[in-house]
Amino acid sequence: MSLPPSHHRVEEVTLLTDRLGTRRSLTVHRFGTPGARPKIYIQAALHADETPGLLVAHHLIRRLRGAAVSGEIIVVPMCNPTGIGQIVEGVHVGRYALDGSGNFNRIFPDLIEGAAERLVGKIGPDPQANVQTVRAALRAAYDALPPPDSEVAALRHTLMGMAFDADMVLDLHCDQESVPHLYAGDALWPELADLTALLGAKAMLLSPDAGGKPFDEACSVPWWTLAARFAADGPIPAACVATTIELRGKADVDDAQADADAQAIIGALIRRGIVAGTPPDLPPLLCAATPLTGLARVVSPVSGVIAFHRAVGDQVAAGDLIADIVDPTAADPDQARTPLRTPGGGILMARNNLRFVSRGELVASIAGPEPLESNRHALLFD
């Protein structure tokens, strides 16, 4: 079937602000038929200083404009105008809100309880009927949320409102220095294996619920939580395929690479019949999916200068030396180094891009196959 090129509409969505005389808005690009299924939602730079996704979004929009779309694709190419504006003494602070609202990618609205109370007695044997029923309950739960009480809460509320009922949600981020990697729920593997392969990702980190309510999980976790809650009544599929895509490191902003990443995403959409075209050949997967509980975090017990011994992409074993932390003020320079070893083996997925750390700061992350005791408490490093 050949479809005409998709209709492309650009909307400005005005956001609530906290201060007199300020105005914030989101630019939203919509492709395809409003309200049609499947619905795909893609956003970039929720952590506003993570630039690679902005350029990927540009190439996505450029390519989707000429494509035939079945369903609806929503692209919000710069989804955090509050964070974009946070320049302090020439430094862009994009991960945390300067008003004290915390990490921008945390505490998105929780729709689970609101949906669950509306689903009692309504789940039956037909999984597709259940998808419709659950979406309606999530919609009712979203509509019943209390009004957001701050600019950042209003931003989270608005982004969530565009995404929670999507069939697929792609949240484009980057790490500090890293190989490409993704985060998703256990239930979404191997559904996301094709996108993982197309993006050339070197790690795919799975968990049932990492905690902290990041954007992707706020959209996807309700599905398997409600499925477990109503298992005796009937099957509820994981009908929102949401993932956080870490597009390498902060400085890895390259026009050709960004276009290749955009084509990888569009390739996954072609494979799902959402964008017309010839499905791309799948390159081999470069990683196995590993549990988020197997992510070894190398945290510095002291402050000082990082002297790395290993690079991103290296395979390392538990106990390997990753870096020395150097204290240049040490009276005895032979005692100036604190060696940092990894508690677990795997691929060195990400490194701190600054070379001076505080005590307790994350220096490197290694994605490994075995759950680590050190991850019993918090799964996401804030």
* Closer residue to Zn ion (CB): 50 or 320: 50
- The answer to whether 202 and 180 are in contact (CB under 8 A) is yes
Question: Strands, E, within 133-180: which ranges?
Answer: 168-173, 177-178
The phi-psi region of residue 8 (left if phi > 0; otherwise alpha if psi is between -120 and 50; otherwise beta) is beta
Q: How far is the CB of 214 from Zn ion (least distance, A)?
A: 9
Measure the CA–CA gap between 135 and 114, rounded to whole angstroms: 12
* Closer residue to Zn ion (CB): 249 or 294: 249
* Closer residue to Zn ion (CB): 244 or 342: 244
* Closer residue to Zn ion (CB): 47 or 248: 47
Q: Which residues contact 95 (CB under 8 A, 6 or more apart)?
A: 47, 48, 49, 83, 103, 104
* Closer residue to Zn ion (CB): 50 or 167: 50
Q: How far is the CB of 104 from Zn ion (least distance, A)?
A: 8
Does the protein bind Zn ion through residue 47 (CB under 5 A)? Answer: yes
Q: How far is the CB of 250 from Zn ion (least distance, A)?
A: 10
For residues 329-342, one letter each, b for 16 or more C-beta atoms within 10 angstroms of the residue's C-beta and e for the rest, the string is: eeeeeeebbeebeb
Does the protein bind Zn ion through residue 250 (CB under 5 A)? Answer: no
| Orientation of helix 215-229 relative to helix 112-119, angle to 10° | 30
115-134 residues in contact with Zn ion (CB under 5 A) are none
The phi-psi region of residue 272 (left if phi > 0; otherwise alpha if psi is between -120 and 50; otherwise beta) is alpha
* Closer residue to Zn ion (CB): 105 or 342: 105
* Interface size with Zn ion, residues (CB under 5 A): 3
Q: Which stretch binds Zn ion (CB under 5 A): 18-26, 41-49, 198-206, 352-360?
A: 41-49
| 215, HSE (Cβ side, Cα atoms, 13 Å) | 32
Query: Which of residues 30, 39, 173, 213 is near Zn ion by CB under 5 A?
Result: 173
197-236 residues in contact with Zn ion (CB under 5 A) are none
Q: How far is the CB of 210 from Zn ion (least distance, A)?
A: 13
Does residue 343 have a cis peptide bond before it, meaning omega lies within 30 degrees of 0?
no
Q: Which stretch binds Zn ion (CB under 5 A): 50-58, 68-76, 184-192, 335-343?
A: 50-58
Q: How far is the CB of 12 from Zn ion (least distance, A)?
A: 24
* β-strand partners of 203: 181
* Closer residue to Zn ion (CB): 51 or 133: 51
* Closer residue to Zn ion (CB): 44 or 166: 44
Does the protein bind Zn ion through residue 181 (CB under 5 A)? Answer: no
* Closer residue to Zn ion (CB): 32 or 53: 53
Q: How far is the CB of 47 from Zn ion (least distance, A)?
A: 3
Q: How far is the CB of 71 from Zn ion (least distance, A)?
A: 27
Q: How far is the CB of 377 from Zn ion (least distance, A)?
A: 21
Q: Which stretch binds Zn ion (CB under 5 A): 31-39, 79-87, 166-174, 304-312?
A: 166-174
Helix (H) or strand (E) holding 229: helix 215-229
For residue 299, report the phi and psi dihedrals to the nearest 5 degrees: -110, 135
Q: How far is the CB of 105 from Zn ion (least distance, A)?
A: 6
Q: Which stretch binds Zn ion (CB under 5 A): 78-86, 167-175, 195-203, 209-217?
A: 167-175
Going from the C-alpha of 171 to that of each of 71, 218, 371, the distances in angstroms are: 19, 12, 25
Q: Which stretch binds Zn ion (CB under 5 A): 74-82, 172-180, 269-277, 281-289?
A: 172-180
DSSP state of 275: B
Q: How far is the CB of 300 from Zn ion (least distance, A)?
A: 21
Q: Which stretch binds Zn ion (CB under 5 A): 57-65, 82-90, 165-173, 279-287?
A: 165-173
Measure the CA–CA gap between 95 and 103, rounded to whole angstroms: 6
Q: Which stretch binds Zn ion (CB under 5 A): 43-51, 73-81, 290-298, 364-372?
A: 43-51
Helix (H) or strand (E) holding 33: none
Residues that bind Zn ion (CB under 5 A): 47, 50, 173
